[in-house]
Structure 1
Amino acid sequence: MSATDVTTRSTPGTRPAGPRPSTSGQLRSLSRAMLRSFFRDRTSLLFAFLFPLMFLVVFGLVFRGDGAGTTPLAVVGEGPVVTALPDDVVESVAFEDAQEAVAAVEAGDVAGAVIEQGGEVTLYFAASDQVQAGTVQQVVSSVINEANLAATGQPPAITLTTQQVESERFGPIQFLAPGILSWGVATSAAFGAALTLVAWRNRQVLRRLRLSPAPAWTIVAARVGVSLLVALLQAVVFIAVAMLPVFGLELAGQWWLALPILLCGTCSFLGVGLLVGAIAKTEEAASALANFIVLPMAFLSGVFFDLSAAPSWMQSVSRVLPLGWMNDGITDVLVRGEGVAAVWLPCLVLLAFALVVGAAATRLFRWES
């Protein structure tokens, strides 16, 4: 064996000799590889684009506010109360017999039954559905109070005028869209990072990257860049669909201020994905663990429903969850029209969360299985 052979042969665990490509070139190559891997994976595309759009279609069509939100209410008899029931709130269903009306309430066909005989009104409702029970009680009580006041012939001492602060054109989609978008971006970032990290570790890709001339930080930078690019694509597609006439999303004046919050939120859940990928040993375990973290967080953060009527402990929990900050921040600027003052605190909280979780992921990171 010649001296040349000895000097040129690399030993195990060392980087091969040869011209070292530029750092920017290494970063571009890794980013292209991750992007190709993402768009070739049907599961990743499902979670990134189709899944959020599916929720948009379901919730957007159900809560369009096109008059289908009336509550069915059985009525028996005639009188000032039955006549004055507001048609835009309740849908009166006439019954001839009181027992049949009560049976309809028990069967869940109607939210309640109003029986008016002479000057006496009886309301039956099902306590199993507290929302509808509260609605029919408030409506009937209000109608009876107005009827009693009219019977006295005295003008009301205090009158109430109600007016919503947003545009009259604003519907439920204005507050559904930011939450579903936040959840979709969070899910994509967490799942994408976790599954990629576990798959690359099990297929020895991370080991080969470790032995390559590429610095370790370029791998992280490529993953961050790909996640941010995917998040922007998600936002563009999602908002474009939500603005279709069938859904009717309207953007506030400084809607573009939602972008920093979106990107900071992506970094937060990218950190969650890296942590999951550092812990999990298989892709199945990574998927289950990421789902275990993100899905409950969506419900506890008020993504799918308003938390104003939720228990106080749930509202307190939502204030410390990154998805809650992301959802509230995007809603403030995308819908409520708030300015820069509403951006910096959510961004700060989301970035702090990303740093803490990212540091934990770094401590637990393994190049090989």
Structure 2
Amino acid sequence: MSTLASFKSLSRAMVRGFLRDRGALFFTILFPLMFLVIFGGVFGNQTTSKADVIEVGTVQVLDQAKAGAGAELDKVMSITKSTDLKGALKKVEEGDAAAAVEQRGNEVIVHYSAADQVVSGTVRGTLNSIVQTANIAATGRPPVYELSVQQVEDDSTKAIQFFTPSLLGWALASAGVFGASQTLVTWRTKGILRRLRLSPAPISAVFGARVTVSVGIAMAQLVLFLAVARLPFFGLRLEDSWWMAIPLVVSGVLAFLSIGMVIGAWAKTQEAAQTVTQLVVLPMAFLGGSFFPIDASPGWMRAISYVFPLRYLNEGMLNVMTRGLGPGSALPQIAILLGISVVGGLVATRLFRWDDA
């Protein structure tokens, strides 16, 4: 049997096996797609959230800012008035408000909680700008410099733009790592690897078919995700360089397969392989930025995230699919993912064994 004939035969067998396995079909295709539908339905029409600020009593500089630039201020803050300082502080402490602002003479006091550093930092920065503007106005001198702020995304940018690439990355990582580790352990424990070794089919055809089928399934995931996200209900807009997601997906699949191969080559039982895979995939999903923006995380979490290949896949797809960056922006991520796949493949080769003996 020629290598090409073996490759085609094995590929057909693997595809049929995948389609017949309802569990694999559900967790590889339908389960991640369900998350996209839920996240897109709940958050899809949301844009950048506004910080809730309580104005306690009369805060003159804040009232002046609302009168002079109310429309711009409304984009970042939702201001409510109150006369109860104690109640306002309690709301801030419980997380129901980002800050409470009061004015005592010429002193503007911002009460905030350290629980949400991102939101409180935004509020403090905005209020500091308001106070500085009021100080300049009080001197009667025009400012030398003028600050102009522009949002990099237009006002139509929605959360679906970020959920689609990140949840797709999680789906690809789960399918790649779980699929490779479980397949390798199952084949070894059931003696399939031993029979393949003795069959006329070259080993290169066996692993080539496994990789080809995995890449094909990933392409199907990409098409389904984009088809669902681009429905009018969700409204995903793809940028001009979105097609670079294809080589990103391929390189990501290779990286995740190599990790799964390492786990499958090391583990002696399916239970061990499943446990280790979960210990790898779950932290990678959260620290790779699939469920929340990693840039909003503490510094130590951002530092750890660089260890996981999912971060590079998510970042690359976000750059070309929704941020409008050019094709070249994905090249560093592709190089890193391919490098991980090479290293993982070498480690898996060293750990690989045909049977449990």
Under a length normalisation based on structure 1, what TM-score does the superposition of the two structures give? 0.83
Residue 238 (structure 2) aligns with: 251
Q: 1:349 aligned to 2:332? A: no
Q: 1:274 aligned to 2:254? A: no
In angstroms, what is the RMSD of aligned CA positions? Answer: 2.8
1:81 shift after superposition: 3.3
Deviations 1:110-134 (A, max 9, x none): 2221224665533222223322322
Residue 223 (structure 1) aligns with: 210
Task: Give the 3 Å change call, closer, same or farther, for CA 347–78 of structure 1 in structure 2.
Answer: closer
Task: Measure, in 2, the Cα distance between the counterparts of 1:87 and 1:163.
Answer: 15
Q: 1:190 aligned to 2:177? A: yes
Residue 70 (structure 1) aligns with: 50
Residue 47 (structure 1) aligns with: 27
Matches within 5 A, 1:22-41: 22-41=2-21
Task: Measure, in 1, the Cα distance between the counterparts of 2:144 and 2:42.
Answer: 40
Q: Which amino acid aligns with 1:69?
A: S
Residue of 220, 239, 255 corresponding to 1:233: 220
Residue 146 (structure 2) aligns with: 159
Residue 16 (structure 1) aligns with: none
User: For structure 2, which runs of at least 5 residues remain unmatched after alignment?
Assistant: 67-72
Q: Secondary structure at the match of 1:252?
A: coil
CA contact (8 A) 2:118 2:296 kept: no
Task: Measure, in 1, the Cα distance between the counterparts of 2:300 and 2:115.
Answer: 23
Q: 1:137 aligned to 2:117? A: no
Task: Measure, in 2, the Cα distance between the counterparts of 1:174 and 1:193.
Answer: 30
Q: Which amino acid aligns with 2:172?
A: V
User: For structure 1, which runs of at least 5 residues remain unmatched after alignment?
Assistant: 1-20
**Percent of aligned positions with the same letter in both sequences?**
46
Q: Secondary structure at the match of 1:124?
A: strand
Task: Measure, in 1, the Cα distance between the counterparts of 2:327 and 2:123.
Answer: 42
Q: Which amino acid aligns with 1:253?
A: D
Task: Give the 3 Å change call, closer, same or farther, for CA 109–345 of structure 1 in structure 2.
Answer: closer
Task: Give the 3 Å change call, closer, same or farther, for CA 67–301 of structure 1 in structure 2.
Answer: closer
1:188 shift after superposition: 0.7
Task: Measure, in 1, the Cα distance between the counterparts of 2:303 and 2:280.
Answer: 18
Matches within 5 A, 1:79-158: 79-83=59-63, 84=65, 86-116=73-103, 119-158=106-145
Task: Measure, in 2, the Cα distance between the counterparts of 1:314 and 1:75.
Answer: 34
Matches within 5 A, 1:297-308: 297-308=284-295
Task: Measure, in 2, the Cα distance between the counterparts of 1:313 and 1:105.
Answer: 26
Q: Secondary structure at the match of 1:214?
A: coil
1:241 shift after superposition: 1.8
Residue 9 (structure 1) aligns with: none
Deviations 1:161-195 (A, max 9, x none): 12234444333433443232222212211111111
Q: Which has the larger radius of gyration?
A: 1
Q: Secondary structure at the match of 1:161?
A: coil
Deviations 1:265-312 (A, max 9, x none): 111111111111111122222122122223333444444444446566
Matches within 5 A, 1:309-348: 315=302, 318-319=305-306, 321-348=308-335
CA contact (8 A) 1:258 1:334 kept: yes
Task: Measure, in 2, the Cα distance between the counterparts of 1:71 and 1:340.
Answer: 35
Q: Which amino acid aligns with 2:207?
A: V
CA contact (8 A) 1:80 1:147 kept: no
